[in-house]
């Protein structure tokens, strides 16, 4: 007997410091393009990416872009409400953005009572190794300490590990339901 198709729509918030690649990430996965100039995101934007899992399951991810300004952290309660998944983004070449992952995760934890799956995208891995500011071991430790579901080395610029990160997050969210 063929199983009936399943379709879920899930709210996923994309958070992290300014200029780590959040808006580029959303544009890349939903529109397939890379924006090379940085315009600080004003307000909140949302775009949908459909992820197919198995034969008949589609998860529609509504990706919400918070914008990176510190001030936006104050908006977390309204912004995070009702989200089923969290993507935190940092920049592998800027240690401060990696350290800020803890703060972003804490903010999300304060707001969401039933903690949804949360993945970390360590972005800009295309940039030369000698300017990377954090080791694999440190990222593993951070992931454990912050109770993240996992982390991915990504390049939004070169489209590396973006699809797989969204597939993993989708699987985690479906299991979490
Ligand atoms: P946001 O503030 O987190 O939304 O960051 P943006 O998406 O505006 O990106 C900030 C800057 O980083 C832009 O100039 C992007 O082109 C650049 N950028 C984003 N992702 C990557 C990447 O994977 N590699 C490189 N080299 N640059 C990137
Ligand atoms: Mg932005």
Q: Given pLDDT bands bounded at 50, 70 and 90, which one contains residue 32?
A: confident
pLDDT at 34: 77
pLDDT in tens, 117-149: 999 999 999 999 999 999 999 999 999 999 999
Residue 4 C-alpha to ligand 2 middle, in angstroms?
38
Residue 169 contacts residue 117 (beta carbons within 8 Å): yes
Atom 24 in ligand 1: which residue has the minimum CA distance? 124
The pLDDT of 102-114, averaged and rounded, is: 91
**Predicted confidence (pLDDT) at residue 172 exceeds the cutoff of 70:** yes
**Predicted confidence (pLDDT) at residue 41 exceeds the cutoff of 70:** no
Residue 67 C-alpha to ligand 2 middle, in angstroms?
5
E strand or H helix that includes residue 26: helix 22-31
Q: Which residue has the higher pLDDT, 5 or 16?
A: 16
Tell me if 127 CB under 6 Å of ligand 1.
Answer: yes
**Predicted confidence (pLDDT) at residue 68 exceeds the cutoff of 60:** no
pTM score: 0.93
Atom 13 in ligand 1: which residue has the minimum CA distance? 38
- The backbone torsions φ and ψ at residue 104, rounded to the nearest 5 degrees and listed phi first, read -60, -40
């Amino acid at each position: 007997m063929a199983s009936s198709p399943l379709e879920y729509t899930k709210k996923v918030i994309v958070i992290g410091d300014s200029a780590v690649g959040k808006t580029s990430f959303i544009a890349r996965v939903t529109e397939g393009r890379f924006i090379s100039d940085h315009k600080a995101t004003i307000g909140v934007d949302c775009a949908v990416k459909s992820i197919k899992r198995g034969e008949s399951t589609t998860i529609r991810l509504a990706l919400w872009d918070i914008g990176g300004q510190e001030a936006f952290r104050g908006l977390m309660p309204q912004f995070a409400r009702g989200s089923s998944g969290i993507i935190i983004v940092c920049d592998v070449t800027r240690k401060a953005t990696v350290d800020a992952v803890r703060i972003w995760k804490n903010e999300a934890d304060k707001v969401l009572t039933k903690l949804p799956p949360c993945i970390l995208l360590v972005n800009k891995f295309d940039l030369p190794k000698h300017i990377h500011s954090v080791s694999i071991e440190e990222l593993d430790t951070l992931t454990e300490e912050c109770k993240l579901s996992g982390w991915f080395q990504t390049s939004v610029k070169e489209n590396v590990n973006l699809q797989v990160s969204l597939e993993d997050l989708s699987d985690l969210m479906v299991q979490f339901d």
